[in-house]
Amino acid sequence: MKLTPTMHRCVLHWGEMAGRWGVSRSVAQIHALLFLAPAPLTADEIAETLNVARSNVSVSLKELQAWDLVSVTHQLGDRRDYFQARKDIWEVLTMIMDGRKKREIDPTLQMLRECNADAKKDHETPEQVKERIAVMLEFLEELAGWYDQIRAMPRPTLLKLMRMGTKVAKIVT
Amino acid sequence: MKLTPTMHRCVLHWGEMAGRWGVSRSVAQIHALLFLAPAPLTADEIAETLNVARSNVSVSLKELQAWDLVSVTHQLGDRRDYFQARKDIWEVLTMIMDGRKKREIDPTLQMLRECNADAKKDHETPEQVKERIAVMLEFLEELAGWYDQIRAMPRPTLLKLMRMGTKVAKIVT
DNA sequence: TTTAAATTTCAGAAAAGACAGAAATAACCG
DNA sequence: CGGTTATTTCTGTCTTTTCTGAAATTTAAA
């Protein structure tokens, strides 16, 4: 697939941001390409367009699928896989947030629960430290619960709430 | 500083999560240690407790200070720096979100603004692609604006809103 | 100043991660 | 079944990041 200068620039930028976003350059570039591409692409087309090894594309696509950002389609009479990215920006954000919560928050939440339980029969750890762990656990539980609630709300409602901005504060006055 | 088994476990867990959180293991471990520590610690104490090079501690502390998660204090008659972590969990979250927005969102927002402006005089890029860039830009601008508004709200208000959970939806019905 | 403590900078070692290319596997067709 | 094409797994190389230990710099007291 031929990239116009504008598309080229976007793909490169995605690649540069990859490190900060916690993915490899290939993953980010492939995602940018598929997001912009008007039609689904094959793995070979992706490899050729971005000048990366075919195997690398394979691994990166698996990761993007794990994030639920990319899916596979097929064309009649063609047994190759065609890959397409989620185009709905709101959904993209949701998938990324879900993924991050799962990878960055949930394991720590789990660990804090265990630590907090252990703390009960732990007589060497200062009360102050136990208390800090307990507070942090409580906070994260609350945050996670809130996220799940918000996550379950219909999108139009969330959009309206967002657009109200600071005005939502009025209901708690 | 001597670590109890519970503290030890927390520090190790923080270190293991470091990669996912986008910081080095040392940075995460030092943060965990300072967060739990009942009193401020010197760089030497940190290095000794965690068994890392003194220079490594120096660099890591600089990074934690850049995130505004750690600050320096002093003791009378002692010219060493004593480091302490922000203890207020809510503030910790805020600092991390601010930092992430600045590093992970703002550069892309800037780049999309430029791309979108360039797209005006770009005749080779398909309309469909330009449209996708425009939509994404608009979405990110809205999200960033919303974040700034929320960010400026007083904490008690935010807490109340959070605790309302799905009930906030009532005001937009 | 001089001296000594505390901290930072820097260059290279070590570890981790990303990537290419080859080999292996799977899917499909005649 | 072969033969062919698509895809994945594996292995070693290369790159980047992290970390250390020594040297240099800063800081403050004597």
pLDDT of residue B170: 87
- How does pLDDT run across B89-116, given as a tens digit for each residue? 999 999 999 999 999 999 999 999 999 9
Closest protein residue to C20 using CA and C1' atoms?
A: A53
Q: What are the tokens at A40?
A: 């689904």
Nearest to B13 among A93, A111, A150 (CB): A111
> Could you tell me how far CA A2 lies from the centroid of its own chain?
28
Min Cα separation B168/chain A (Å): 8
Q: Which residue of A has its CA nearest to B146?
A: A165
Q: Which residue of B has its CA nearest to A156?
A: B172
Whole-angstrom Cα Rg for chain A: 22
Instruction: Give the C-alpha separation, A58 to A125, whole Å.
Output: 48
Quick check: B24 pLDDT over 80? yes
What is chain A's pLDDT, residue by residue, as a tens digit (173 residues)? 899 999 999 999 999 999 999 999 999 999 999 999 999 999 999 999 999 999 999 999 999 999 999 999 999 999 999 999 999 999 999 999 999 999 999 999 999 999 999 999 999 999 999 999 999 999 999 999 999 999 999 999 999 999 999 999 888 87
Q: How many CB atoms lie within 10 A of CB B133?
A: 20
pLDDT of residue B132: 97
Taking the CA of residue B82 and the C1' sugar atom of nucleotide D27, their distance in angstroms comes to 15
Instruction: Give the C-alpha separation, A122 to A127, whole Å.
Output: 10
All residues of chain A having their beta carbon less than 8 Å from the beta carbon of residue B166 are: 149-150, 152-153
- Select the residue from B125, B139, B148, B173 to test the A interface by mutation, using most A Cβ atoms within 10 A: B125
* Ramachandran angles phi, psi of A47, nearest 5°: -60, -45
Q: Say if residues A108 and B92 touch (Cβ distance below 8 Å).
A: no
pLDDT of residue A170: 86
Nearest to B6 among A20, A104, A122 (CB): A122
pLDDT of residue A142: 97
Average pLDDT, chain B: 96
- How does pLDDT run across B39-58, given as a tens digit for each residue? 999 999 999 999 999 999 99
Instruction: Give the C-alpha separation, A45 to B123, whole Å.
Output: 24
Please name the amino acid found at residue A23: V
Per-residue H/E/C for chain B: CCCCHHHHHHHHHHHHHHHHHCCCHHHHHHHHHHHHCCCCEEHHHHHHHHCCCHHHHHHHHHHHHHCCCEEEEEECCEEEEEEEECCCHHHHHHHHHHHHHHHHHHHHHHHHHHHHHHHCCCCCCCHHHHHHHHHHHHHHHHHHHHHHHHHHCCHHHHHHHHHHHHHHHHHHC
- The pLDDT > 70 percentage for chain B reads 100
Instruction: Give the C-alpha separation, B166 to B158, whole Å.
Output: 14
All residues of chain A having their beta carbon less than 8 Å from the beta carbon of residue B115 are: 6, 9-10
- How does pLDDT run across B65-90, given as a tens digit for each residue? 999 999 999 999 999 999 999 999 99
All residues of chain B having their beta carbon less than 8 Å from the beta carbon of residue A125 are: 4-7
Give the bases of strand C that a protein CB approaches within 7 Å. 5-10, 16-23, 27-29
Taking the CA of residue A82 and the C1' sugar atom of nucleotide C22, their distance in angstroms comes to 25
Nearest to B135 among A89, A145, A165 (CB): A89
pLDDT of residue B171: 83
**Yes or no, beta carbons of B5 and A136 under 8 Å apart:** no
B 7-46: CB within 7 Å of strand C: 19, 42-44
Nearest to B13 among A5, A108, A132 (CB): A108
Apex A167 CA angle, A163 and A170, nearest 5: 145
Strand C closer than 7 Å to the CB of B58?
yes
The residues, any chain, with a CB within 8 Å of residue B156's CB and separated by 6 or more, are none
